[in-house]
Amino acid sequence: MYEAILNLHSYWAYLVLIILIIAVVNAIVKSVGGKEYSAKDFRIALFTLIVSHIQLLIGIVLYFVSPRFAVFSELGMGGVMKDAVNRLYLVEHPIVNIAVVALITIGYSKHKKKLTSAPKLKTIAIFYTIALVLLLSRIPWDAWLS
Protein backbone atom coordinates (compact mmCIF):
# COMPACT_ATOMS: atom_id res chain seq x y z
CA MET A 1 0.00 0.00 0.00
CA TYR A 2 2.82 2.38 0.88
CA GLU A 3 4.50 1.96 -2.53
CA ALA A 4 1.24 2.59 -4.40
CA ILE A 5 0.51 5.77 -2.46
CA LEU A 6 4.12 6.94 -2.84
CA ASN A 7 3.95 6.45 -6.62
CA LEU A 8 0.60 8.22 -6.82
CA HIS A 9 1.95 11.12 -4.75
CA SER A 10 5.08 11.36 -6.91
CA TYR A 11 3.30 11.23 -10.26
CA TRP A 12 0.48 13.53 -9.16
CA ALA A 13 3.19 16.02 -8.14
CA TYR A 14 4.18 16.36 -11.80
CA LEU A 15 0.61 17.35 -12.64
CA VAL A 16 0.51 19.86 -9.77
CA LEU A 17 3.83 21.39 -10.80
CA ILE A 18 2.87 21.64 -14.49
CA ILE A 19 -0.56 23.17 -13.88
CA LEU A 20 0.82 25.58 -11.27
CA ILE A 21 3.50 26.76 -13.71
CA ILE A 22 0.82 27.17 -16.41
CA ALA A 23 -1.36 29.19 -14.01
CA VAL A 24 1.53 31.44 -12.95
CA VAL A 25 2.77 32.08 -16.49
CA ASN A 26 -0.76 32.65 -17.77
CA ALA A 27 -1.57 35.15 -15.01
CA ILE A 28 1.71 37.03 -15.37
CA VAL A 29 1.58 37.21 -19.17
CA LYS A 30 -2.04 38.36 -19.21
CA SER A 31 -1.46 40.82 -16.37
CA VAL A 32 1.61 42.38 -17.97
CA GLY A 33 -0.05 42.36 -21.39
CA GLY A 34 -3.15 44.12 -20.08
CA LYS A 35 -5.43 41.37 -21.38
CA GLU A 36 -8.88 40.57 -20.05
CA TYR A 37 -9.64 37.85 -17.54
CA SER A 38 -11.59 35.07 -19.25
CA ALA A 39 -13.38 31.83 -18.43
CA LYS A 40 -10.20 29.97 -19.45
CA ASP A 41 -8.27 31.83 -16.74
CA PHE A 42 -10.93 30.89 -14.20
CA ARG A 43 -10.69 27.22 -15.22
CA ILE A 44 -6.89 27.20 -14.99
CA ALA A 45 -6.98 28.74 -11.50
CA LEU A 46 -9.72 26.33 -10.40
CA PHE A 47 -7.92 23.27 -11.82
CA THR A 48 -4.77 24.35 -9.98
CA LEU A 49 -6.77 24.58 -6.77
CA ILE A 50 -8.33 21.14 -7.27
CA VAL A 51 -5.16 19.23 -8.17
CA SER A 52 -3.22 20.83 -5.31
CA HIS A 53 -5.89 19.83 -2.79
CA ILE A 54 -5.93 16.28 -4.10
CA GLN A 55 -2.13 16.19 -3.78
CA LEU A 56 -2.42 17.41 -0.20
CA LEU A 57 -4.87 14.62 0.65
CA ILE A 58 -2.63 12.00 -0.97
CA GLY A 59 0.34 13.46 0.93
CA ILE A 60 -1.46 13.29 4.28
CA VAL A 61 -2.29 9.62 3.73
CA LEU A 62 1.31 8.97 2.63
CA TYR A 63 2.68 10.73 5.68
CA PHE A 64 0.91 8.43 8.10
CA VAL A 65 1.53 5.15 6.22
CA SER A 66 5.19 5.93 5.55
CA PRO A 67 7.84 3.94 7.39
CA ARG A 68 9.53 7.29 8.06
CA PHE A 69 6.70 8.18 10.43
CA ALA A 70 8.02 5.62 12.93
CA VAL A 71 11.22 7.70 13.19
CA PHE A 72 9.33 10.14 15.43
CA SER A 73 8.88 7.48 18.10
CA GLU A 74 12.45 6.23 17.72
CA LEU A 75 14.35 9.54 17.67
CA GLY A 76 11.86 12.04 19.02
CA MET A 77 11.46 15.50 17.55
CA GLY A 78 14.99 16.54 18.55
CA GLY A 79 16.49 13.58 16.69
CA VAL A 80 14.38 14.23 13.62
CA MET A 81 15.42 17.89 13.55
CA LYS A 82 19.12 16.97 13.77
CA ASP A 83 18.94 14.74 10.66
CA ALA A 84 18.55 16.73 7.43
CA VAL A 85 16.83 13.95 5.46
CA ASN A 86 14.30 13.11 8.17
CA ARG A 87 13.70 16.82 8.80
CA LEU A 88 12.97 17.36 5.10
CA TYR A 89 10.52 14.45 4.79
CA LEU A 90 8.84 14.68 8.19
CA VAL A 91 8.79 18.42 8.91
CA GLU A 92 9.82 20.80 6.13
CA HIS A 93 8.15 19.17 3.11
CA PRO A 94 4.75 18.67 4.80
CA ILE A 95 4.60 22.07 6.50
CA VAL A 96 5.76 24.09 3.51
CA ASN A 97 3.43 22.24 1.15
CA ILE A 98 0.47 22.81 3.45
CA ALA A 99 1.40 26.50 3.23
CA VAL A 100 1.57 26.16 -0.58
CA VAL A 101 -1.97 24.79 -0.73
CA ALA A 102 -3.13 27.50 1.67
CA LEU A 103 -1.61 30.21 -0.57
CA ILE A 104 -3.28 28.74 -3.65
CA THR A 105 -6.59 28.60 -1.81
CA ILE A 106 -6.28 32.17 -0.51
CA GLY A 107 -5.24 33.46 -3.94
CA TYR A 108 -8.14 31.69 -5.61
CA SER A 109 -10.66 32.98 -3.04
CA LYS A 110 -9.36 36.55 -3.18
CA HIS A 111 -9.33 36.67 -6.98
CA LYS A 112 -13.02 35.72 -7.13
CA LYS A 113 -13.92 38.81 -5.09
CA LYS A 114 -12.23 41.22 -7.51
CA LEU A 115 -14.50 42.85 -10.05
CA THR A 116 -12.14 43.71 -12.90
CA SER A 117 -9.56 41.77 -14.90
CA ALA A 118 -6.34 43.45 -13.74
CA PRO A 119 -6.81 42.83 -10.00
CA LYS A 120 -8.02 39.26 -10.63
CA LEU A 121 -4.95 38.36 -12.66
CA LYS A 122 -2.59 40.21 -10.31
CA THR A 123 -3.95 38.34 -7.29
CA ILE A 124 -3.53 34.97 -8.99
CA ALA A 125 -0.05 35.94 -10.19
CA ILE A 126 1.14 36.99 -6.73
CA PHE A 127 -0.29 34.15 -4.64
CA TYR A 128 0.38 31.37 -7.14
CA THR A 129 3.96 32.58 -7.78
CA ILE A 130 4.77 32.59 -4.07
CA ALA A 131 3.23 29.10 -3.84
CA LEU A 132 5.33 27.91 -6.80
CA VAL A 133 8.57 29.21 -5.29
CA LEU A 134 7.80 27.55 -1.95
CA LEU A 135 6.82 24.31 -3.67
CA LEU A 136 10.06 24.21 -5.64
CA SER A 137 12.07 24.87 -2.49
CA ARG A 138 10.83 21.78 -0.63
CA ILE A 139 10.59 19.10 -3.32
CA PRO A 140 12.96 16.25 -2.42
CA TRP A 141 14.71 16.51 -5.77
CA ASP A 142 17.18 13.66 -5.20
CA ALA A 143 14.37 11.15 -4.64
CA TRP A 144 11.96 12.68 -7.15
CA LEU A 145 14.23 12.68 -10.17
CA SER A 146 15.76 9.25 -9.62
| All residues at 6 or more sequence positions from 111 whose CB lies less than 8 Å from its CB, including other chains | 45, 119, 120, 121, 123, 124, 127
| Residue 98 · residue 56 · CB < 8 Å | yes
Task: Indicate the number of domains in the chain.
Answer: 1
Residue 61 has pLDDT above 90, yes or no: yes
Our measurement of the distance from residue 109's CA atom to the centroid of its chain's CA atoms, rounded to an integer in Å, reads: 16
Mean predicted confidence (pLDDT) in 122-144: 91
For residue 60, the enclosing domain spans: 1-143
Is the pTM of the predicted complex or chain greater than 0.85?
Answer: yes
**3-state SS, residue 25:** helix
- pLDDT band for 145, please (50, 70, 90 cuts): low
C-alpha 105/C-alpha 41 separation (Å) is 15
